[in-house]
Amino acid sequence: MIEGDPNIVESIEGDEEIIPTPEKIQSVFEQLVEGKEYKEERRLEDEKGVYIWEITVDVSEEDGGGHDEYGYMRKGHYDNGEISETDIHITRYDDEGMPRGGDLVAKLSGEDWEVATLTEGEWKF
């Protein structure tokens, strides 16, 4: 679990809403990609901070080729939909760009991130 110092803002209901800083999100991405180079594909922000951030990592031929896409999404209501939890998912793509599966790999639990580990080909918390 990654403990941090995310921003905390008041929500409309009066409950505290946890908004991770870009630095905290990046540290989770870096833990997930395990030192591999990654490319930022998309990053959307509003007045509260980052709400969507997608990065990609090339996958070696010996590991099946293609690329992995990690997508951070912040809980909230947006023009293009609603997200119920703040988390990071991975989607795996083959060499032809076709998705071949995906998993939840990190989730915000209170102020801390729970990060899954890849064990025997499966992401586990």
- Helix, strand, or coil (residue 117): strand
Reported confidence tier of residue 10, pLDDT bands at 50, 70, 90: very low
Q: Do the Cβ atoms of 55 and 39 come closer than 8 Å?
A: yes
Output the pTM of the full model.
0.85
State mean pLDDT over 5-22: 63
From residue 93, alpha-carbon distances to 34, 44, 68, 71, 116 in Å are 18, 22, 6, 13, 20
The mean predicted confidence, pLDDT, of the chain is: 87
Compute the distance between CA of residue 90 and CA of residue 77 in angstroms, rounded to an integer: 22
Domain spans of the chain? 7-124
What amino acid occupies position 116? A
What amino acid occupies position 11? S
Q: Specify the length of the chain in residues.
A: 125
Give the rounded distance of the alpha carbon of 61 from its chain centre. 24
Backbone phi, then psi, for 30, in 5-degree steps?
A: -65, -35
Give the pLDDT of residue 120. Answer: 85
Give pLDDT tens digits for 24-81. 999 999 999 999 999 999 999 999 999 999 999 999 888 888 999 999 999 998 887 7
Most distant CA atoms of the chain, gap in Å: 51
State mean pLDDT over 107-123: 91
Give the pLDDT of residue 15. Answer: 59
